[in-house]
Amino acid sequence: MTLIASREWLLTEQPASRGQARFGQAYRTWLALRGNRLAMVGLGITVVLILMAIFAGMLAPYDPVQGGDLRTERLLAPSWAHLMGTDDLARDILSRILYGSRITLLVVGLVAVIATPVGLFVGTIAGYFGGWVDTVLMRVTDIFLAFPQLVLALAFVAALGPGIENAIIAIAITSWPPYARLARAETLTIRDADHIAAIRLQGAHSARIIWGHVVPLCLSSVIVRVTLDMAGIILTAAGLGFLGLGAQPPQPEWGAMIAEGRQFIIDDWWVATMPGIAIFIVSLGFNFLGDGLRDVLDPKARK
Amino acid sequence: MTTADIEPEGRHGALPPWLLRLGRLLLSLVFTLFGLLLVTFVIGRVVPIDPVLASVGDRASASAYHAVYLKLGLDKPVWEQFLIYVNQVLHGNLGESVLTSRPVLDDIRDVFPATLELSTVAILLGTLVGIPAGVWAAVRQGRLSDQIVRILGLVGYSAPIFWLGLLGLLLFYAKLGWVSGPGRIDIAYEFDVTRVTGLMLVDCALEGQWPAFWNAVSHIMLPASLLGYYSMAYISRMTRSFMLQELGQEYIITARVKGVSEARIVWVHALRNAAVPLVTVVALSYGGLLQGAVLTETVFAWPGLGMYLTNSLGSADMNAVLGATLVIGAAFVTLNLLSDVLYTFLDPRVRRRG
Amino acid sequence: MSALLEVEDLRVTFPTRSGPSEVVRGVSFTLGRERLGIVGESGSGKSQTGRAILGLTPPPGRATAARLAFDGIDLRNASPGQWRSLRGIRMSMVMQDPKFSLNPVMTIGRQLMEAAKRTAADRAEAKDRAMAMLEAVQIRDPARVFKAFPHELSGGMGQRAMIAMMLITEPDLLIADEPTSALDVTVQIEVLRILDRLVTDRGMGLIFISHDLRLVSSFCDRVLVMYAGRVVEEVKASALAQARHPYTQGLYGCLPRIEGSVRPLPTLQRDADWAL
């Protein structure tokens, strides 16, 4: 009974409060998303990734950094003892992949946490004030967009020095421009809305209007966009790792693991293949999820 | 029903509107290139703790260090340093590579054709497969073939290119022997070919060196198909969505009412309209290939700009890294400009009005 | 003489999340070589009726009928080839807004030629006919319009070109779906006059779809009034004042009159029972 009642509460045509309307909207999005099989697969993969990262310590059968016996346990093919085989330092690849999920999540999470606010900040300010502020900020944004992302990130890491922290900073620096453009576009559509004008007439400070009224309205579309970009972030991070600019050995970063397996690719294929499969599945998951989210939230693209 | 019914074609008198538009585009190109210089300057001089060390490498002697310190103008204020930098770049001076001890610009001139060749073959493959696939998916929207194109596209978006490259080498080169391995051409042929354009396929064909030509083809096939697959993923997806949009327009119904054949409706009426935004998509993915090339060239030992960049990264050769970054950025921006110009010619609405 | 078009129990259905939704619900009429007007407010199903007759119900919509025959040819199970031999050659349609109904990246000439070539012996003949047709819709400078792109023409010119394109093959049936609604009032009359003359000269059947009762009544012989997917009344255009159905009376009552306006202005009454 309570289930049905809460469903009605969520789907009502006349929400009693803003909160109810917002929850109802979220619930409707969820219902639409649930009907999309690929999106559900994507969500499942994402949840598994998070669980893997949390419980890596319990799930991993071996130590991810400390290898086994170098004389007898190097480059073992997949078997029951080592489901994904071992690498040239006799480390269990499955355990490394499990621990590596933490690095992947860390990169995705930190990039989102850094790039989203920067993009929102630049975009809402440019859109709200317009004029020369807008011109200058958007010119800067365009210049960042003029480089292919990976190449610019490479240059930044080259200057900052290799390492996972610097890789994250470099990816974040190169990820915010699209969010700024989006936030600006959204701000432009709401800047002249009546309720913003009303707040302005009440004498509210610009900063307060932007923070309290403009940013919340832009936030959801920017978050969707960030979700869509997650797969790209993972691939860029893996690319940096592959080139030796991301996480440094012996950290079990997936891209770096592929680079380590590269010299054994002909005879010991599993060393490079397994981490690649992990990257592939995770970014496929984010892509499925993002694709579904876009279908649901952007009716223009649905068709 | 006077001529007033037809809108005037140009209001500015002497200058045709498309020329004005071109001028505006060029102006914005100059501005953006200036911005690129600012970014590479910041990366090279402001971000590193010791830009001299970043420039000469840590094996330089104290006197060499000091010479570079003065040459970079590090005793001067930052804005003056930037002007020196811009001046140098405008004179074609991108500094000297620590790794090769040659001017960076000369190095780039040598390696760029390899990248150009690879990405051009790739974009041709990606476009020739991607556009028909996208059209097909749009026409059969919601059916199995649409799903297949969609999933193939998402797979292309999701697999790390360097990993697919390794697997490709393992399967098609090592196991099946269908293609040649890393590099642009077998060593046996390497000295048969004189460098004219720097594009291996073109040079071989120019000299009529057909065995060498086919050898080069077997080398480029795998990396180009891989890169092409990535642009195919993007191009087919965008084609599909543009085509769906066009197929829902009223003029399609007009064409049906006229009794135009379904094939002509799809391939002439709708695709001709979708082609206008598609040009931008193809140009963007051509530029995007420059990025994919960095990783692909590393895997396939393809001696292009991407491999030059990663080799320089490995030895902290900052001048080379920034030079390559600048060139890639400039190529990217130029491609975007080209797509804007093409857009002007494809869309009669822009062409006549500016 | 058999009717040009016979429609019996035509239904058009669109699937929605809450089950199928019928937008045309059992429309029946026959048409000779006459002018039939279909009026109704937006959403009454009048446009979908017109499109269903041409087999152009947009997917995922579906059109069904007990009988749908054009000149004795059963259209319900017509093959794509059959449709192609009918559309453009024997039946065609003028749509509302030339801004959208003309292909923006093709010249008027190319679009005209596509239609002209279907019945002309060769290119030269098709071109001659296209030019003649542009003159017939009173375009002064056909050579220039022939080379123009749609966005370079005004709405009135665009619609003339559209009419030329649809009549160039001399079809037997023309469906005009709100052909003047997107045009300026001053241009409307001109375009209508051109349409009127061409239809009369060629002795075609015409279905004129509009929301404008006055326009329809002055232009057509017979009027179908549609409401919520059904035909609620069929009257002679000259006898509209004697219409029995309250919806038609309502529509008629809303028309402004020269002999002074009614105060207060009447509002259109709708009754849920009519939709049943």
Three-class SS of chain C: CCCCEEEEEEEEEEEECCEEEEEEEEEEEEECCCEEEEECCCCCCHHHHHHHHCCCCCCCCEEECCEEEECCEECCCCCHHHHHHHECCCEEEECCCHHHHCCCCCCHHHHHHHHHCCCCCCHHHHHHHHHHHHHHCCCCCHHHHHHCCHHHECHHHHHHHHHHHHHCCCCCEEEEECCCCCCCHHHHHHHHHHHHHHHHHHCCEEEEEECCHHHHHHHCCEEEEEECCEEEEEEEHHHHHHCCCHHHHHHHHCCCCCCCCCCCCCCCCCCHHHHC
Q: Is residue C91 part of a domain?
A: no
Q: Which residue type is seen at B77?
A: P
Measured distance CA(A161)–CA(A229) in Å, rounded: 25
* The model's pTM: 0.84
- Residue B258: its chain C contacts at CB < 8 A? 87-88, 92, 114-115, 118, 165-166
Contacts B345 to C, Cβ<8 Å = none
CB contact under 8 A, C151 and B348: yes
In tens, the pLDDT along A121-171 reads 999 999 888 888 988 898 889 888 888 888 889 888 888 888 899 999 999
Give the range among B41-50, B284-293, C139-148, C195-204 with minimum mean pLDDT: B41-50
> Does the pLDDT of residue C173 top 80, yes or no?
yes
Cβ contacts from B onto C, under 8 A: 101
User: Would the CB atoms of B325 and A154 count as touching at under 8 Å?
Assistant: yes
By Cβ distance, the residue of C105, C115, C145 closest to B273 is: C105
The set of residues, in sequence order, having a beta carbon less than 8 Å from that of A153 and lying 6+ positions away, is A167, A170, A171, A173, A174, A236, A240
* Minimum Cα–Cα distance from A159: chain B residue: B48
Alpha-carbon A233 to chain mean position: 6
- Among the partner residues A148, A152, A303, nearest to B244 by beta-carbon distance: A303
Is B92 among the domain residues? no
Which of A214, A40, C98 is closest to B5 using CA atoms?
Answer: C98
Q: Would the CB atoms of B249 and C100 count as touching at under 8 Å? A: yes
Q: Do B245 and A301 touch (CB under 8 A)?
A: no
Distance between B341 CA and the closest CA of chain C, angstroms: 17
Write down which residue in C170, C197, C212 finishes a domain: C170
In this complex, is the C-beta atom of C187 within 8 Å of any C-beta atom belonging to chain B? no
Q: Which residue of A has its CA nearest to B35?
A: A143
C3 and C76, same domain (yes or no): yes
Find which of B108, B166, B317 to mutate to test the A interface (most A CBs within 10 Å of its CB): B166
Model confidence at C265, pLDDT cuts 50, 70, 90, reads low
Which residue has better confidence, A259 or A190?
A: A259
Cβ of A147 within 8 Å of Cβ of B288? The answer is no
CATH, residue B117: 1.10.3720.10
Total domains in the fold of chain C: 2
C159 and C276 housed in the same domain: no
Give the domain range for residue C162.
Answer: 97-170
Q: Give C67's contacts (C-beta < 8 A, 6+ positions apart).
A: C6, C7, C8, C9, C74, C76
Query: Which of B146, B257, B345 should we substitute to test contact with C (largest number of C Cβ atoms within 10 Å)?
Result: B257
How far, rounded to the nearest angstrom, does the alpha carbon of residue C265 sit from its chain's CA centroid? 30
List B residues 142-201 in contact with A (Cβ-Cβ < 8 A).
Answer: 154-155, 157-164, 166-167, 169-170, 174
**Beta C19-31 vs C5-16: how paired, if at all?**
antiparallel
In this structure, are residues C36 and C29 in contact, taking their beta carbons and an 8 Å threshold?
Answer: yes
Asked whether residue B131 carries a pLDDT value surpassing 90, the answer given is yes
Q: What's the whole-number average pLDDT of chain B? A: 85
* Distance in Å, alpha carbon of C256 to nearest chain B alpha carbon: 30
| A157 neighbourhood in chain B, CB within 8 Å | 313
Indicate yes or no: CB of B325 within 8 angstroms of CB of A280: no
- Distance from C-alpha of B326 to C-alpha of A197, rounded to nearest angstrom: 44
Q: In which element (H, E) is residue B49 found? A: none
pLDDT reported for residue B121:
95
Q: Which residues of A128-165 are buried (b: 16+ CB within 10 A; e: fewer)?
A: beeeeebeebbebbbbbbbbbbbbbbbbbbbbbebebe
Same domain, yes or no: C70 and C187: yes
Of the candidates A142, A172, A148, the one whose C-alpha atom is nearest the C-alpha of residue A160 is A172
**Residue C261's pLDDT band (cuts 50, 70, 90):** low
Residues C251, C133 within the same domain: no
Residue at a domain's end among C118, C151, C170: C170
DSSP letter assigned to residue B96 = B
Q: How many other C-beta atoms lie within 10 A of the C-beta of residue C161?
A: 27
Is the CB of C170 inside 8 Å of chain B's CB atoms?
A: no
Mean pLDDT, residues B28-50 taken together: 83
Question: What is the structure's pLDDT at A302?
Answer: 40
pLDDT for residue B190: 78
Q: Where do we find the tokens 């098609």? A: B172
Contacting residues of C for B254, CB less than 8 Å apart: 95, 101-103, 111, 162, 165
Domain total for chain B? 1
The rounded distance, in Å, linking the Cα atoms of B327 and B305 is: 9
Q: How far is residue A165 from each of residues A103, A161, A241, measured CA to CA in Å?
A: 11, 10, 12
Tokens 């390696």 correspond to what residue? Answer: B111
Q: What is the pLDDT of residues B47-101, one digit of tens each?
A: 776 777 766 766 777 787 787 777 777 778 888 888 888 888 888 888 888 888 8
CB contact under 8 A, B250 and C144: no
Chain A residues whose C-beta is within 8 A of a chain B C-beta are: 139-140, 142-144, 146-152, 154-160, 231, 235, 238-239, 242-245, 255, 258, 262, 265-266, 269, 272-273, 276, 279-280, 283-284, 287-288, 291, 301, 303
Facing C148 at nearest CB: one of B6, B249, B258 = B6
> Is residue C118 less than 8 Å (CB to CB) from chain B?
yes
Per the document, the length of chain B is 354
Is the Cβ pair C114, B255 closer than 8 Å?
A: yes
pLDDT value of residue B24: 82
Residue B146 with chain C: CB contacts under 8 Å: none
Rounded to whole angstroms, how far apart are CA atoms B57 and B302? 25
Residue C116 in contact with partner chain B when CB distance is under 8 A: no
Question: What's the pLDDT at B71?
Answer: 73
Domain membership flag for residue B186 = yes
C185 and C265: one domain?
Answer: yes
Matching residue, tokens 């929207």: B141
Identify the band that residue B4 occupies on the pLDDT scale cut at 50, 70 and 90: very low
Q: Is the pLDDT of residue C88 over 60?
A: yes
- Please check whether residues C166 and C179 belong to one and the same domain: no
- Domain membership of residue C86 (yes or no) is no
Flag whether residue C181 sits within 8 Å of chain B, measured between CB atoms: no
Interface of B with A in 52-81 (CB under 8 A): 54
Q: Do A150 and B54 touch (CB under 8 A)?
A: no
Indicate whether C104 pLDDT > 70: yes
Give yes or no for B287 touching A (CB within 8 A). yes
Which residue among B253, B258, B349 places its CB closest to the CB of C165? B258
Residue of A143, A174, A254, A260 to mutate when probing chain B, most B C-beta within 10 A: A143
Is C227 found in the same domain as C201?
Answer: yes
The verdict on C80 touching B (C-beta cutoff 8 Å) is yes
Residue C90 resides in a domain: no
Whether C89 is covered by a domain: the verdict is: no
CA of B178 vs chain C CAs: smallest distance (Å): 45
Contacting C with CB below 8 Å, chain B residues are: 1-3, 5-7, 9, 248-251, 253-262, 269, 272-273, 276, 346-349, 352
List CB contacts (< 8 A) between B164 and chain A: 276
Q: How confident is the model at residue B14 (pLDDT cuts 50, 70, 90)?
A: low
Interchain proximity B254–C153, CB inside 8 Å: no
In this structure, what CATH number is given to the domain that contains residue C49? Answer: 3.40.50.300
Please check the confidence at residue C271 and state whether its pLDDT lies above 90: no
pLDDT in tens, A37-71: 888 999 999 999 999 999 988 888 888 888 777 78
% of chain B with per-residue pLDDT over 70: 93
Residue of A nearest to B310 (CA): A243
Domain presence at residue B141: yes
Mean pLDDT of chain A: 85
Going along chain A from its start, the domains and CATH numbers come out as 43-62+83-301 (1.10.3720.10)
User: Domain boundary at C122, C143, C170, which?
Assistant: C170
pLDDT band at C257 (very low <50, low <70, confident <90, very high): low
Q: Cis link prior to C60 (omega < 30° from 0)?
A: yes
pLDDT digits 0-9 by tens, B152-207? 888 888 999 999 999 999 999 988 988 888 888 888 787 777 788 888 888 888 88
Express each pLDDT in B200-226 by its tens digit.
Answer: 888 888 888 888 889 999 999 999 999
Question: Do A147 and B325 make contact, defined as CB atoms within 8 angstroms?
Answer: yes
* Tens digit of each residue's pLDDT (9 = 90 or more) over A108-118: 999 999 999 99
Chains adjacent to A (≥3 CB pairs closer than 8 angstroms): B
Confirm whether B44 is domain-assigned: no
Q: What residues of chain C lie within 8 A of the CB of B3, using their CB?
A: 140-141, 144
Q: Tell me: do C106 and C150 sit in the same domain.
A: yes
Mean pLDDT of C75-83: 87
DSSP code of residue A257: H
Nearest to B6 among C87, C89, C153 (CB): C153
| Chain C contact partners (≥3 CB pairs within 8 A) | B
Does residue C14 fall inside a structural domain?
yes
Instruction: Indicate whether C111 and C165 sit together in one domain.
Output: yes
Q: What are phi and psi of C16, to 5 degrees?
A: -130, 175
A146/B322 touch (CB, cutoff 8 Å), yes or no: no
DSSP 8-state secondary structure symbol assigned to residue A264: G
| Enclosing domain of residue B279 | 107-318
d(C-alpha B329, C-alpha B326), whole Å: 5
Name which of C197, B321, C275 is nearest A245 in CA terms. B321
Measured from the Cβ of residue C262, the count of other Cβ atoms closer than 10 Å reads 10
